[in-house]
Amino acid sequence: MDIAIAKLEAWMRDYYHKVDHDIGSSGVRDLSMAELRALCGFELSALDSMIFHDSESYGGPGLRSALADRWTGGDLDKIMVTHGSSEAIYLVMQLMLEPGDEVIVVDPAYQQLHDIAAARGCRITRWPLRVDHGFGVDLPQLRELARSGPRMIVVNFPHNPTGVSLTPAEQRELVAIAEESGAWLVWDHAFGELTYEAEPLPLPDTSYERCIVWGTFSKSYGLAGLRVGWCVAPPELLARMAVLRDYIALYVSPVLEFFAEHAVRNADRIVALQKKHAEGNLQLLRTWAEGLPELVRLTPPAGGVSAFVEFPGQPDVVRSCRRLAEQHRVLLVPGECFGDAYKGYARLGFGGTTAELTAALPLLERVLREDAGMVVTHD
Ligand SMILES: Cc1ncc(COP(=O)(O)O)c(C=O)c1O
């Protein structure tokens, strides 16, 4: 299989574990076990009675029903527990697509949303966000693109890396466009629970049956290391996914499912805490960017904990990001990881601790000033 290197993950492999301050990741501050226990109200001794028994192909009954209560109105048949949403992405793309199929994907996008399809021999059509209009969506353009009758339309709102989202009316129009074209609508809900000004959008699968949704514990909950995600899809597709995962991972560990079940049952409390934290950090980021209009252009995100910041006047943002990591131990992700069109941008994650954000922003400013050839005014 001729698959492209996942640039973002490769960047993370190089730097994520070698920095002191992470302002590149797209997930909110990681919880400790003690925090998770306090938020969910369980004791570790509850694990003593756990038997290291296999779990089930679709997920153990406890976690599956907790997810069904949260996402499918209690319908267990539409839910599968996966290893992060990454596993769902892979299984769905492998099973739903054939060489030559057309896939329309929002652009920029998390690379896995298009490059597994590309490796399958699909034709990838980009649906670009309106870069000069706050990364807003152009639904008339999508309607035009979708006239060709694509197999799939893949979107992710709130969006990685920009944090932009849709209004409920725009979401309805998107669903209508997919329906008119007969395409499967693939809705990546990774950041769906963490929104700032508007309420979270509903999953679109209730209004359109050719819809596949996945979500994750990695982003809005602060449980990235749990490696648990979920997929909502028609039962026939989940059955095919179960067959394919028999060759990969079989099922998710019951140990992970134990923690995940508690997290879902207490998701509102966890998200409220993380949202309050992220809002405070976002305000810090906005104030910082407003003070540096010659160096930084920030479109404030509507959800998630990343922004796609533009650095005008920078000769080489990848080099600046490398320098930031190697000399100052700060992680930022160059926009190039989202495609060559975004060389002037970087993904800035503000979901980490407030201490690391406040330590990292002055270091970033210093590198930006130096690399833009400006005089450095502080040490
Ligand atoms: C939009 C989006 N979808 C899916 C994923 C996969 O995350 P995970 O496998 O941790 O659920 C990511 C990770 O960054 C992402 O940004």
Cβ atoms of residues 155 and 139 within 8 Å? no
Give the CATH fold of the 44-266 domain: Aspartate Aminotransferase; domain 2 (3.40.640)
**Which one of 9, 25, 111, 160 would you pick to mutate in the ligand 1 pocket, going by the greatest count of ligand atoms within 8 A of its CB?**
160
Would you say the CB of residue 220 lies under 6 angstroms from ligand 1?
no
86 pocket-lining for ligand 1 (C-beta < 6 Å): yes
C-alpha distances in Å from residue 135, one per residue of 157, 290, 346: 12, 18, 14
Half-sphere exposure of 264 toward its Cβ, with a 13 Å CA cutoff?
23
Q: Where are the domains of the chain?
A: 7-33+268-371, 44-266
Q: In a structure prediction context, what are the per-residue pLDDT tens digits for the chain, which is 379 residues long? A: 789 999 999 999 999 999 999 999 999 999 999 999 999 999 999 999 999 999 999 999 999 999 999 999 999 999 999 999 999 999 999 999 999 999 999 999 999 999 999 999 999 999 999 999 999 999 999 999 999 999 999 999 999 999 999 999 999 999 999 999 999 999 999 999 999 999 999 999 888 999 999 999 999 999 999 999 999 999 999 999 999 999 999 999 999 999 999 999 999 999 999 999 999 999 999 999 999 999 999 999 999 999 999 999 999 999 999 999 999 999 999 999 999 999 999 999 999 999 999 999 999 999 999 999 985 555 5
Q: Which residues sit opposite 21 in a β-bridge? A: 330
CA 92 to ligand 1 center in whole angstroms: 14
Other residues' Cβ atoms within 10 Å of the Cβ of residue 266: 17
Rounded-to-integer distance, Cα 257 and Cα 88, Å = 16
Q: At what angle do helices 254-265 and 61-71 cross, to 10 degrees?
A: 30
- As assigned by CATH, the class of the 7-33+268-371 domain is alpha beta
Quick check: CB of 108 below 6 Å from ligand 1? no
Q: Does residue 27 line the site of ligand 1, with CB under 6 A?
A: no
Residue with tokens 């969506």: 137
Name the E strands within the chain: 21-22, 79-82, 102-107, 123-128, 152-156, 184-188, 211-216, 229-232, 306-310, 330-331, 333-334, 345-349
338 C-alpha to center of ligand 1: Å?
14
The verdict on the CB of residue 160 being under 6 Å from ligand 1 is: yes
Q: How far, in Å, is the centroid of ligand 1 from the Cα of 82?
A: 12
Residues 6+ apart with CB under 8 A from 60: 81, 252, 254, 257, 261
* Number of neighbours of residue 45 by Cβ within 10 angstroms: 7
CA 260 to each of CA 106, 221, 263: distance values in angstroms, whole numbers, following the listed order: 29, 10, 5
Task: Return the best residue to mutate from 11, 87, 156, 216 for the ligand 1 pocket (most ligand atoms within 8 A of CB).
Answer: 216
Distance CA 21, CA 374 (A): 24
End-to-end Cα distance, the chain? 50
Q: Round to whole Å and give the CA distance between 302 and 219.
A: 15
Q: Is 110 helix (H, G, I), strand (E, B) or coil?
A: coil
Q: Whose CA is nearest to atom 3 of ligand 1?
A: 190
CB 189: neighbour CB atoms within 10 A?
24
**224 CA closest ligand 1 atom index:** 10
Dist. CA 217 → ligand 1 center (Å): 9
